[in-house]
Structure 1
Amino acid sequence: MLLFDQKRELKDYLQKERVSVRSIGLVPTMGALHKGHVSLVKKALQENDLVVVSIFVNPTQFDNKDDLQKYPRSLKDDLDTLNLVSPDIVVFAPTIDAMYGNNVQSQSYEFDGLDKIMEGEFRKGHFDGVGTIVELLLKTVTPNNAYFGEKDFQQLQIIKKMVASKNLPYQIIGCPIEREPHGLAMSSRNERLSKTTRKEAGFIHKILMAAKSKFGTENAKDIAAWVRSEFEKNQVLDLEYFQIADEDTLTPLTKRKKNTKYRAFIAVYADGVRLIDNLRLN
């Protein structure tokens, strides 16, 4: 397995490899790899001749310094995980200086309002940070395909918007959410939960599934009210938001339209750890 920590060295290597490979896949991660990440990597390996996995905890997308400090970091474990998947994976694990130089700040992006709701409402500047690091990674690796999990569905749509608006020649591919046995969406943050809370957090998916069932007969406002009431009864989990929105535009649902896909989005705190999830409703 090849490991790079400098952009120039990685770019030089990939330029030589392009003589013999037809397609390159990129899987951007912040490390603390789990089965969800592994599923992205396996899909990338199936669809490309060469795969680059980036491991970088991006400081510009954190609006909470404490959250940044506590984010799990385990490069050795991550490399072991990837080596079990395939020894041919190329890993890019830069330092902050290598990625940003002396200018550790976000660019400003126009996401047509996709960044102002849900995650954007509660995490100011988050999506500018996401856009900045993803654009840097795409331009460093210049992949044919880049793979992102649908757990961060709003992020996925925003990245697609950024790539389209800048006419970048990369295909952005969303991949299904991987879940723990009790339904909790797999996330690196789950490692910060106690065993008891981690099991209880399966309640999030249970609520989403119930909301999906209700979506056939009840309106969005009533469903949201029911979700809030259910979390008020829960002694472990604190609801930050629940929103039903158009899957493509992320516009909150007010009146249902024909031939439109809707998705429920949720953010919850557990043991001080922020968890997000989503589920297609129709």
Structure 2
Amino acid sequence: MKRIYLLLILLLSVSLGSKPIEDKDIYASVVNWTDLFISSSVKETIPKIVFDEEDPEFSGKNTATSQGKAHSMARKKAREKLRVRLSQRLESILFNADYTVYEYTQVNQQARLRLNSYIGSEKEEYDFQFVKNVLEAKASLHIKGKEGILAHLPVEYGIESVPEFSEEVVPVEFSGLVVDARHLNVKRALFPKIQTDRGLDIYSPLYVKEAYAMETGYIVYREDQTGKGTEAKVGKNPYFVLALGTAGKNQTDLVIPTDEAAKLLSHPETRKNLTRCRVLILVSR
């Protein structure tokens, strides 16, 4: 009976599809940790159209002389609000176990300059929908990709080798790593680390290749491993491990058993796959 119940749960999750893991702020600006983008939306009232020069409201505040002008004014106001909200949301994201993005830029001058340049370069993508007398506007910023946030934050990548263990373990090749942290109160971050219960880091920016971090994202969070895109991230044969707990000031890093890490890192191709950012973290909502 238990097997049938578990099978039904699995089939239900597949049929319904896996929703992305998101964090929202007080303005409902969203960080999508599954598809890796930030988005925000606003509604802007379209200015009143007054084309009669004899009308007391002609050329007044929040009025326009044509529909085209009214729409243009609404789009401009919406863009200004959305750029501020996206910028605020970006700076509030946890960078790693020690800093938010804003805090990181305060201790790293190069990061501050590059982030300012990125925000000023207007990388946002907009969608405008006019519904009666209201403009519904949405804007988004990519986290990964050539125009994404990761490409504009200076980080030390790939300056160390993925550790190897001395334990005698039969080498098995795995296409990636899936860490199940759904039972933990883990905080999402751009650069979480994974370490053993002995304090050894087995996954960090120091081990990965920059090109892969830019293209696929250093980390992806999902609610389950059955959704679309999982195989593209961690391959067909990933290693599954249950996290023991969280670590770091911001509780973003994950701890796994040392013996599990030894099995994972026993094969050189598996270690190479970790440098390609083939890592997925399962979290609850």
Which category describes the TM-score, using the shorter chain as reference length?
A: under 0.3
The structure where helix makes up a greater share of residues is 1
The structure that has the greater radius of gyration is: 2
Query: TM-score normalized by structure 1?
Result: 0.25
Query: TM-score normalized by structure 2?
Result: 0.24
